């Protein structure tokens, strides 16, 4: 199973290795059956129509068409949809094309995500969610920041972030603010300025601020030199 993790539609974290779905909106998580996890992973990796034969093979092995019934196959996707609904996700993530296969809804954004060693904080109200965990295994929401990246960051001045230059400076934002290059195009940075002002975040004390701009969610990571970062997520639509 892939070691890569994914954020689906800015709200669902999918961890294939652990076969876990977790909602960033409701904080609910659920372990799913191995066949469902394998099918979902294949659909995410291809991002195109996947045939029933390929899904059978991915979920149950090379001889699956001989030993696995169609009822079991369809129940796999029923269970997957139920799992998504259980954690609070109501979007139409997957579409079944009769007699052809299954495809991820083309309107759904999927971003690669990596667990990090940063601390999260959680706050409720006013459309904000912040979470804090003292474990180094806690999730850094929407960041796609690897553990090795934190060490790389501490040894750089910010011009080569996380060792792979995935975060860049954007005109109009403070010098210590870096925006993820994979953020959707056409999303306004105005919300970033508003969040920084609301949270009184600044470049003082050698803080570095990393931003993921989503179409319906903006996540900001305020990181002091110790890299005990705080994350702020604004769930309002960016225009």
Instruction: Going residue by residue through the chain, which has 239 residues, state the pLDDT in tens, using 9 for 90 and above.
Output: 667 888 888 888 898 888 999 888 888 889 999 999 999 999 999 889 999 899 999 999 988 888 888 899 889 999 999 999 999 998 889 888 887 889 998 888 888 875 443 333 333 333 434 444 433 334 444 444 443 444 444 444 443 444 346 778 888 888 888 888 777 666 677 777 887 777 666 777 777 888 877 766 777 777 777 656 676 666 655 55
| CATH topology assigned to domain 5-113 | Arc Repressor Mutant, subunit A (1.10.10)
Q: What's the pLDDT score for residue 24?
A: 84
Domain segments of the chain as ranges: 5-113, 167-234
Q: Are 207 and 174 in contact (CB under 8 A)?
A: no
Q: What's the pLDDT score for residue 134?
A: 39
Q: What's the pLDDT score for residue 189?
A: 75
Helix-strand-coil split of the chain, %, nearest 5: 30, 25, 50
Q: Are 193 and 211 in contact (CB under 8 A)?
A: no
Q: What's the pLDDT score for residue 27?
A: 84
Contacts of 99 (CB under 8 A, 6+ apart): none
Q: What's the pLDDT score for residue 35?
A: 92
């Amino acid at each position: 199973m892939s070691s890569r993790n994914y954020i689906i539609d800015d709200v669902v974290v999918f961890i294939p290795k652990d076969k876990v779905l977790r909602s960033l909106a409701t904080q609910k998580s659920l372990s799913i059956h191995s066949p469902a996890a394998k099918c979902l992973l294949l659909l995410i990796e291809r991002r195109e129509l996947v045939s029933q034969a390929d899904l059978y093979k991915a979920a149950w092995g090379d001889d699956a068409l001989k030993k696995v019934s169609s009822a079991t196959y369809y129940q796999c996707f029923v269970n997957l949809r139920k799992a998504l609904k259980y954690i609070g996700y109501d979007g139409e993530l997957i579409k079944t094309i009769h007699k052809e296969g299954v495809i991820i809804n083309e309107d759904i954004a999927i971003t690669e995500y990596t667990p990090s060693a940063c601390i999260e904080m959680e706050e409720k109200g006013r459309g904000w969610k912040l979470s804090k965990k003292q474990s180094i295994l806690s999730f850094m929401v929407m960041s796609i920041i690897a553990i090795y990246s934190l060490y790389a960051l501490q040894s750089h001045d910010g011009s080569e972030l996380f060792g792979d230059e995935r975060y860049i400076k954007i005109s109009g934002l403070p010098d210590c603010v870096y925006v993820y290059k994979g953020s959707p195009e056409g999303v306004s940075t105005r919300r970033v300025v508003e969040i920084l002002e609301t949270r009184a975040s600044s470049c003082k004390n050698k803080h570095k601020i990393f931003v993921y701009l989503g179409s319906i969610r903006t996540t900001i990571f305020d990181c002091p030199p110790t890299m005990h970062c705080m994350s702020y997520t604004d769930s309002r639509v960016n225009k």
